[in-house]
């Protein structure tokens, strides 16, 4: 692997983080505008929730193709095209004259936004190896973690100025600026000599080959389910803030600040542990933190039927720390199952995660967000599923002759700690 000097330049974490921020910004920035949008188009809360679900569904479906297209055409053109099309969809959303048109534009936003997140992960693994890759992934996630708390505050500030339309105009301008920055600052990390042809039959055959790998499934489950437990609270933010906490649109930071504080702290810790602890230790620490958070969620929900600030929101810090401790390492483990198809693997991971998040937003959130206890039970179940998948991965890896997870070797590349695909 011989990355160009500019491939690991200082601007790279910021560019990749900005690409990743498109996703949470697209979701969270519209939360404060829900009442205004509902009033404008005469729709209820259930219909407004579909603004999130529609975005996530198209995001998930198209994420299956972004990585494979980037394997064929290169990382840079796919990311730039995705941002420009996202800008076009945002303009359409700002000019929407009906709720159906707004939903369609949200779907187009989702179909394009994944280009940055999916391809960006593959780009990291193209450029760096071992602890350096984990550090860069952690840096990106640390910067990315600021987006959820900024987005609803920006949305709330824009409402008196440009109404809900202003939110989409801002998203359009941001994505255009990002496309220009990518064209100017980013070098291609996937040269023509390593590219694979994009065709439906080989693409499907590649996905089938992923499914035949024994260790692929538990890694996919663990990396997909973990964030869903935290996302349950994020997707339920409008109901938590307005109905359970009885706050105005300016009250969203009470939920998002703890989430971001935890995610930034967890990402920083993951980067620090990259050369000091094994893969196993890092991920296990993440699950310990998530498990403690779920225990506190349940205890507070039982002790405080009426949620109180700040206590009812504080466990979100531990939950965010745990997610970000585990996620960068799980992602790199998954990407290295098939080194020649990292774009495709990143696509499958994004698809699984986003599809699950769309179910969380469209089904679990409306059902469970009537009380903090319901949310705590749902988040605990999702976290437990992720922990079980991680345990299963470790068990299967140890059963593979000569491919066990070795003891801690802080200076070793991450590939030395993973089992190769069978």
Tell me the per-residue pLDDT of 52-87, one tens digit each, with 9 for 90 and over: 888 888 887 887 787 777 777 778 888 899 899 999
Could you tell me if 214 and 401 are in contact, meaning their C-beta atoms sit under 8 angstroms apart?
A: no
Please report the DSSP string for 304-349 in residue order.
-SS--TTTTTTHHHHHHHHHHHHHHHHHHHHHTTSGGGHHHHHHHH
pLDDT of residue 197: 66
Res. 421: pLDDT tops 60: no
Mean pLDDT score, 125-142: 68
The per-residue pLDDT of the chain, averaged, comes to 79
Confidence of residue 287 (pLDDT cuts 50, 70, 90): very high
Mean pLDDT score, 267-281: 79
pLDDT of residue 403: 45
Mean pLDDT score, 185-202: 71
Domain definitions of the chain by residue range: 5-417
Mean pLDDT score, 237-255: 82
pLDDT of residue 249: 65
Mean pLDDT score, 256-285: 83
Confidence of residue 10 (pLDDT cuts 50, 70, 90): low
Percent with pLDDT over 90 in the chain = 21
Mean pLDDT score, 225-236: 86
> Which residues lie below 8 Å from residue 112, measured CB to CB, with a gap of 6+?
62, 82, 83, 85, 86, 89
pLDDT of residue 9: 56
Res. 32: pLDDT tops 60: yes
Burial of 3 (0-12, 13-18, 19+ CB in 10 A): middle
Work out the number of other CB atoms within 10 angstroms of the CB of residue 129.
16
pLDDT of residue 236: 87
The winner for highest mean pLDDT among 15-19, 28-32, 42-46 is 42-46
Confidence of residue 411 (pLDDT cuts 50, 70, 90): very low
> Which residues lie below 8 Å from residue 89, measured CB to CB, with a gap of 6+?
105, 106, 108, 109, 111, 112
pLDDT of residue 297: 94
pLDDT of residue 8: 44
Mean pLDDT score, 101-110: 93
How far from each other are the two terminal CA atoms of the chain, in whole angstroms?
Answer: 23
Is 1.20.1250.20 the CATH number for 5-417? yes
pLDDT of residue 293: 95
| Tens-place pLDDT, residues 294-345 | 999 999 999 988 888 888 899 999 999 999 888 878 888 887 777 767 767 7
């Amino acid at each position: 692997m011989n990355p160009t000097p500019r491939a690991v330049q200082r601007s790279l974490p910021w560019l990749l983080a900005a690409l990743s921020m498109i996703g949470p910004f697209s979701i969270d920035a519209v939360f404060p505008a829900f009442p205004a949008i509902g009033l404008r188009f005469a729709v209820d809360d259930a219909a407004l929730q579909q603004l999130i679900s529609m975005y996530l569904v198209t995001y998930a479906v198209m994420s299956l193709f972004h990585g494979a297209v980037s394997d064929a055409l290169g990382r840079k053109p796919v990311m730039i095209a995705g941002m420009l099309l996202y800008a076009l969809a945002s303009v359409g959303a700002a000019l929407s004259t009906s709720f159906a048109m707004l939903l369609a534009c949200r779907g187009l936003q989702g179909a394009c936004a994944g280009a940055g997140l999916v391809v960006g992960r593959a780009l990291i693994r193209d450029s760096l190896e071992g602890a350096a890759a984990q550090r860069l992934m952690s840096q990106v996630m640390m910067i990315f973690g600021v987006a959820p708390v900024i987005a609803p505050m920006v949305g709330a500030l824009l409402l008196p100025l440009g109404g809900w339309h202003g939110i989409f105009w801002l998203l359009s301008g941001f994505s255009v600026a990002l496309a220009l920055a990518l064209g100017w600052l980013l070098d291609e990390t996937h040269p023509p000599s390593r590219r694979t042809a994009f065709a439906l039959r080989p693409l499907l055959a590649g996905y089938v080959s992923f499914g035949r790998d024994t260790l692929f499934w538990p890694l996919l489950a663990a990396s997909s389910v973990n964030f869903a437990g935290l996302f349950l609270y994020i997707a339920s933010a409008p109901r938590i803030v307005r109905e359970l906490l009885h706050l105005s649109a300016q009250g969203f930071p009470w939920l998002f600040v703890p989430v971001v504080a935890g995610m930034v702290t967890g990402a920083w810790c993951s980067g620090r542990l990259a050369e000091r602890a094994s893969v196993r230790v890092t991920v296990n620490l993440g699950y310990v933190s998530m498990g403690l958070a779920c225990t506190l969620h349940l205890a507070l929900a039982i002790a405080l039927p009426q949620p109180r600030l700040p206590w009812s929101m504080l466990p979100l810090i531990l939950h965010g720390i745990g997610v970000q401790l585990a996620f960068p390492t799980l992602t790199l483990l998954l990407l290295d199952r098939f080194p020649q198809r990292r774009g495709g693997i990143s696509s499958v991971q994004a698809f699984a995660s986003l599809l699950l998040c769309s179910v969380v937003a469209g089904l679990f959130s409306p059902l469970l967000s009537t009380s903090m206890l319901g949310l705590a039970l749902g988040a605990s179940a999702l976290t437990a599923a992720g922990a079980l998948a991680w345990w299963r991965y470790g068990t299967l890896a140890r059963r593979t002759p000569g491919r066990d997870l070795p003891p801690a070797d802080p200076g070793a590349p991450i590939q030395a700690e993973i089992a190769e695909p069978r």
